[in-house]
Amino acid sequence: MKLWLLQAKDKTLPNDDNPWEPWYDKAFGHVVRAETEEDAREIAHETAGEENRGEFAGKEIAKTKQPWKDPKYSDCVELTADGEYGLVITDFHAA
């Protein structure tokens, strides 16, 4: 099995097509164990929060209900033992 890091592209998306707006009750990152990127994206999709709704308060906020499956909305990279010393991910959102 491989480890995959999935992260939202929320900072680069326009507000009228951003499943992570507003920011609460949503996942912004996952570390997943899976054989393929497709499998990793499926697991992230299945364990997502409100970002999969594509709407907020009855108003469309994104043109997708599957942001973890779509490279337009999320990144998915394989994690390996190679790389710089340091933290891999902290996904903290305070209200």
What is the per-residue pLDDT across 19-45, written as a single tens digit (0 to 9) for each?
A: 999 989 999 999 999 999 999 999 999
33 three-class SS: strand
Q: How many domains does the chain have?
A: 1
Report which secondary-structure segment, H or E, holds 78. strand 74-79
Could you tell me if 41 and 86 are in contact, meaning their C-beta atoms sit under 8 angstroms apart?
no
- For the stretch 48-85, pLDDT in tens is 999 999 999 899 999 999 999 999 999 999 999 888 89
Please name the residues in contact with 12: beta carbons below 8 A apart, sequence gap of 6 or more. Answer: none
The answer to the question of residue 88 being in a domain is: no
The answer to the question of residue 21 being in a domain is: yes
Among residues 30, 22, 72, 71, the alpha carbon closest in space to that of 48 is found at 30
The answer to the question of residue 17 being in a domain is: yes
Range of the domain at 9: 2-79
pLDDT of 92 over the 80 cut: no
